[in-house]
Structure 1
Amino acid sequence: MSNTDFKQWFIENFQTFEKSLNGEKTESFHEIRKDALSKFSSLNIPSVKDEEWKYTNISPVIKHNFNIVPPKTDVAPEIIGKFLFDKLEHHLLVFVNGEFRKDLSRLNELPKDIEVGSLAVAIKNNHPALLKHFGKYAEDSNNLFTALNSAFTKDGAFILVPKGKIVEDPIHIIFLNIGGEEKFITQPRNLFIAEANSQVTIIEHYGSDKDGIYFNNSVTEIFVGENSVVDHIKLQEESLKSFHIGRMEVDQERNSAFSSHLISTGAEFSRNEFTTRFNGQGGESMLNGLFMIKDEQFFDAHTMIDHAMPNCNSHEHYKGILQDKARGVFNGKVMVRPDAQKTNAFQENNSILLSDDAVMNSKPQLEIFADDVKCSHGATVGKLDEEAKFYLKSRGIGEESATAMLIHAFASDVIKTIKIEPLREYLEEIITKRFNQ
């Protein structure tokens, strides 16, 4: 299928999507969708000739015709249980093939005025916070896949934490795609709003119970209000035949603190775009990532930390473990604008290649237009430390166990920064299974 066919497929099937809205196309929000479709039709499909896609060949994704309306499917609660990391002490939202499932979700007692639920309901009710924030951070005008998501926005997670409120337990959102014979696309659209002096932890979890072909095109917008604290964890455990393109845009106000942890093991092709922007002084931001890929999997992390205001701190550390013929990309940019004096920014990318056929492209970038700053960046790509392995073997530890221990220690650097202990244990178990420790 050609590039033109890929775009034409969605344009021609927009009416099919409109029919699935059950009359909602007469609502005012539908104008946003139609405007986004117009932008989608005018944008070019990215290619390796574009600097931002230099190492990322999109052709495996665009060769498919994905059904616009995913199939409805029954899901046993036990399947959801596979993706839980405690005894359901946290709040839980479940989406199956892009649709909110109230019967599988559970919200424990929440403080008054906190809203956690389906974006579709917020759209239906013309929620004021939705109209104020939707599309303000993840703009459609220069991103084909964001425009596609906006045009076909139907559901996703909506979280509003009002001023001064604290949500003690994590909010765990599971996006479960269950593929079969039918190839389909889901387009979750998430909006998380933490108003001034509030606090919340959100886990965005993408998984699959079957090895089907599907395309997950997600967009998440996060507003971190003045003096508020947001911890965000994204987990990708998807079908190894699936495709995942995710974009997260974060707006940080004065003295806010935001942390992001991306842990990825799934998808044949995945690209994650993360941007956080300081719109007030005194902000803190941390972006951590760990990807573990094998066979012929492809993973791409594109990050941007925009120091648009002075006296802000950022810390970014991404790690990769690549086996077989896997290919990875890390492109991290830290922008320090002219007025952003007293900026403190650290960025690092470390990757381990466990095969001669694995490939990693790393491009850490600093663009500094202020003179009173502390900034550093670096990248390493290599094999396991043979001296460390030799030391372990000399203590009677076998080759496989020594390798697994070193990998575990390398990966744990990222995981130990996650504050939720049951989630850390869940991730430790994934690493242990992956490398046969």
Structure 2
Amino acid sequence: MTNIAYFKDQFEGLADDDSTDTIKELSKAAFENFNRSGLPTSKLEEWKYTNISSLFEKNYQFSKDNSQEELSYSALEALNLPGQNEANVLYFIDGRFMPGLSKIRSSEKELVILPLETAAAGPYQKIVKEHLGSSSKYLKDGLHALNTAFIQEGVFIYLPKGQQLELPLYLHHITQATTENIISQPRSLVYLAENSNLQLVETYTTLGSMESFSNEVIEIVLEERAFLAYYKLQNDGPNAAQLSSTQIHQIGKSYVQSLTISLNGGVIRNNLNLILDSPGNETHLYGLSLLKGKSHVDHHTLVDNKQPNCFSNQLYKGIANDTATGIFSGRIIVQPDAQKTNAYQSSKNIILSDLATINAKPQLEIFADDVKCSHGCTVGQLDEEAMFYLRARGIPLKSAESLLLQAFSSDILNQIKLEPLRKHVEQLILAHLASS
């Protein structure tokens, strides 16, 4: 069993590592917090619909230092996405950033990529000290603390002032579960300086038939007039469990577009927090889940409006078949100083099976009086009139269902601005629908 005592033994083994004082102090405080909090249970309101206790009945092992020796670059090419040859590509193997395998095509003036420990000890020390671990103010569960306690071989990504990066940045997370169950804990800190532009893509792959559990934390900070397009593609196997915690902090007036596509996997929990900390911030959050089998996908979003004249829009869609479970919990906070806030939230879902489940929990917490905020939720089946229309024109049942589900998904997919990635996702969805 992977329990607190096991993690304590592993943590004590980090005592002599070469991390900087900043990271060591942060890790120590986080492990003390983990000891107090323990693993989250379904008794907690935020984890009401997702019980992860069974995951920790499995004997997970931490990754080994020589993970990079087991995979060659030629083996990684099989995992390439369309358009990746015209992109910057970073690889994480078992949660560890691998500079030797990564391909940086942009110049150092355009894009700075460093091991997190190097950045914490060098010229970016101030940024790391101020922003690394800041997400713990919002993400207070034991799993977030566990990731921070075991920060090892993370990555620091920095866009200098004025850099409108043309090439997208791909982060591939690969877990080698070929001979034993593996727990990996990737950690990333991304900083977009004034008037910079980044397209960021994350993907996840488990190699092997053993169990994998990824406990990821990524923290992103945007200065004035920065632009972020952030795409997360989850298309792993049923033996892969994943907790992904993302915090995006807009410290200057900036623009964020975030899109999460969840197609395959075991138990998946996505925490996405947006902190709108400057007047005029704008953010758009999109999500699409196509669930089948026993998949369990839980989307938790938080938009904290701290300053006036901010705009946020959320649209999450889910399709559930077989015995799959989908959850959307969206929370909007409007602080007392955040007058003139416009915040919208919508969750739309289709159930294709009597055994599938959708749980939706939209929430508004408003402490200002001059705002426009709304939320809505729908859960239903395919439109019978539309089905009749298609069937009456000779379209077979399965094809008619697929056409309607593609139409249901289209307004989410159209938000993917990277054309090769969008076409790739469209093909994945077609294959997914054909096999359902």
> TM-score normalized by structure 1?
0.93
Q: What CA distance in whole angstroms lies between the structure 2 residues aligned with 1:84 and 1:157?
A: 21
Residue 90 of structure 2 corresponds to residue 93 of structure 1: yes
Contact 1:353/1:382 (<8 A) preserved: yes
| Structure 1 residue 81, shift from structure 2 partner | 3.5
Deviations 1:237-267 (A, max 9, x none): 2221121111111111232111111111232
TM superposition shift of 1:158: 1.8
Task: Return the letter of the residue paired with 1:399.
Answer: L
- Cα 1:397–1:140 shift into 2, 3 Å: closer
Choose from 220, 223, 232 the match for 2:221: 223
Distance change in 2, residues 1:156/1:80 (3 Å): farther
- Please tell me whether the aligned partners of residues 197 and 227 of structure 2 are also in contact (alpha carbons under 8 angstroms): yes
- 1:75 and 1:408, CA in 2 relative to 1: closer, same or farther beyond 3 A? farther
SS of residue paired to 1:24: coil
> CA-to-partner distance for each residue in 1:343-370, whole Å, 9 max, x for gaps?
1111001111111100011011111122
Q: Aligned to 1:436, what secondary structure does the other structure show?
A: helix
Q: Where does 1:159-238 land on structure 2 (aligned, <5 Å)?
A: 159-238=157-236
Say whether residues 1:44 and 2:38 are aligned partners. Answer: yes
Change (3 A) 1:44 1:16: closer
Over residues 44-64 of structure 1, what are the superposed CA-to-partner deviations in whole Å (9 max), with x where a residue is unaligned? 332222111111112222212
The superposition leaves residues 129-178 of structure 1 with CA deviations (integer Å, 9 ceiling, x where unpaired) of 32232112344982211110011111233211122222111111111112
Match of 2:382 in 1: 384
Superposition deviation, residue 268 in structure 1: 1.0
2:328 matches 1:319: no
**Residue 116 of structure 1: how far off its partner (Å):** 2.1
Alpha carbons 1:213, 1:239 under 8 Å: kept: no
Match of 2:156 in 1: 158
For residues 265-414 of structure 1, the aligned pairs below 5 Å read 265-414=263-412
For the residues of structure 2 that align with 1:27 and 1:341, how far apart are their CA atoms? 41
**Are 1:57 and 2:48 counterparts?**
no
Aligned to 1:249: 247
2:102 counterpart residue number: 105
Compared CA separation, residues 54 and 325, structure 1 to 2 (3 A): same
Contact 1:177/1:207 (8 A) holds in 2 = yes
Amino acid at match of 2:86: E
* Compared CA separation, residues 28 and 278, structure 1 to 2 (3 A): closer
Q: Is the partner of 1:102 in helix, strand or coil?
A: coil
Q: Which consecutive unaligned segments of at least 5 residues does structure 2 have? A: none
Contact 2:206 2:212 in 1 (8 A): no
8 Å Cα contact 2:243-2:270 kept in structure 1: yes
CA pair 132-405 structure 1, distance change in 2 beyond 3 A: same
Q: Which moved more, 1:117-126 or 1:414-423?
A: 117-126
Report the residue type matching 2:35 in the other structure: S
Which of 5, 24, 33 is matched with 2:27 structurally?
A: 33
Moved more, 423-432 or 75-84: 75-84
Following superposition, the deviation at residue 298 of structure 1 comes to 0.8
**Shift, 1:125, TM fit:** 4.5
**For residues 263 and 82 of structure 2, what CA distance do their matches in structure 1 show?**
17
Please tell me whether the aligned partners of residues 17 and 68 of structure 1 are also in contact (alpha carbons under 8 angstroms): no
- Distance in 2 of aligned mates of 1:420 and 1:267: 24
Work out which of the residue numbers 80, 84, 87 in structure 1 matches 2:81: 84
SS at match of 2:307: coil
Shift of 1:286: 0.7
Which residue identity lines up with residue 118 of structure 1 in the other structure?
A: P
> Structure 1 residue 76: deviation in Å?
5.3
Aligned counterparts of 2:279 and 2:139: Cα–Cα separation in 1: 28
Matched ranges for 1:121-132 at <5 A = 121-123=118-120, 125=122, 127-128=124-125, 129-132=127-130
1:109 Cα deviation after fit? 2.8
8 A contact 2:4–2:38 mirrored in 1:
no
Give the direction of change, closer, same or farther, for the CA distance of 1:44–1:392 in structure 2 (3 Å limit). same
Change (3 A) 1:78 1:182: closer
Structure 1 contact 139–146 (Cα < 8 Å) conserved = no
Q: 1:196 & 1:282 partners in 2: Cα distance? A: 15
User: Secondary structure of the equivalent of 1:414?
Assistant: helix
SS in 2 for 1:9: helix
Where has structure 1 moved over 4 Å in runs of 4 or more? Answer: 25-28, 123-126
Note the C-alpha offset of 1:113: 5.7
- Output the amino acid matched with 1:316: Q
1:433 equivalent in alignment to 2:427? no
Aligned mates of 1:33, 1:126 — CA distance in 2: 21
AA at the equivalent of 1:29: I
Q: Which SS does the other structure have where 1:193 is aligned?
A: strand
SS of the equivalent of 2:425 reads helix
Give the conservation status (yes or no) of the 8 Å contact 1:250–1:277: yes
Question: What SS class does the counterpart of residue 104 from structure 1 fall into?
Answer: coil
Structure 1 residue 203 displacement after superposition = 0.9
**Alpha-carbon distance between aligned partners in 1 of 2:119 and 2:143, rounded to the nearest angstrom:** 23
> d(CA) in 1 for partners of 2:96 and 2:280?
39
Distance 1:18 1:395 in 2: 69
Deviation by residue 1:189-240 (Cα, 9 ceiling, x = unmatched): 0111001221111112222243330110000101011121111111112221
Task: Supply the distance in 2 between the matched residues of 1:198 and 1:113 (Cα, whole angstroms).
Answer: 9
Taking structure 1 as reference, are residues 26 and 64 closer, same or farther at Cα in structure 2, changes over 3 Å only? same
2:349 alignment partner, SS class: strand
Say if 1:17 and 1:69, in contact at 8 Å, map to a contact too: no
RMSD: 2.0
Indicate yes or no: 2:111 matched with 1:114.
yes
d(CA) in 2 for partners of 1:360, 1:235:
21
Distance 1:411 1:10 in 2: 41
